[in-house]
Amino acid sequence: NCPICFEPWTSVGPHRICTLKCGHLFGRSCIAKWLLNRLKKNTTCPQCNSKAIRSDIINLYSTKFSVVDNALIEQVQQQLSEERETRTKMESSSYHTTMKLNVLITEMDILKKENTNLKRKI
């Protein structure tokens, strides 16, 4: 939808979809009026305030318009990345804990043998 009038764009006619050099999309009639009604020299894009003049309006040619809201996808991908990072840290921690356990078990076995030998000497 056009951010000026909030009406759907069309592929032909006065409200056809167009863009300015900055890349923001508008209905042609709306952005033309917007730029014409600004009597000052410094006319700007209503979205980002970058300088714009009527000759900057570029028609876009397409038979179908659709906008995909990928915010949820981006959020899920971010969560997946964070979960993978957490999993990697946990696996590393688990590996180090297992290694420490193995060292302690080995030390315990050595001490048991030493204890057994000392008991025999008594």
CATH number for the domain harbouring residue 15: 3.30.40.10
12/61 same-domain check:
yes
C-alpha to C-alpha distance for 122 and 103, rounded to whole angstroms = 29
1/50 same-domain check:
yes
Higher local confidence (pLDDT), 102 or 34: 102
17/36 same-domain check:
yes
Higher local confidence (pLDDT), 122 or 118: 118
**Averaged pLDDT, 58-82:** 80
61/73 same-domain check:
no
C-alpha to C-alpha distance for 17 and 45, rounded to whole angstroms = 15
60/84 same-domain check:
no
Is the sign of the CA dihedral 25, 27, 32, 34 positive or negative?
negative
45/12 same-domain check:
yes
21/62 same-domain check:
yes
pTM of the model: 0.51
C-alpha to C-alpha distance for 91 and 4, rounded to whole angstroms = 52
**Averaged pLDDT, 52-72:** 78
54/85 same-domain check:
no
Quickly tell me which residue has 């009604």 as its tokens: 37
CB 17 within 8 A of CB 27: yes
Domain boundaries, position 72: 68-121
34/56 same-domain check:
yes
Domains in the chain: how many in total? 2
The 10s digit of each residue's pLDDT in 10-58 is 888 888 899 999 999 999 999 999 888 766 667 889 889 888 888 899 9
60/80 same-domain check:
no
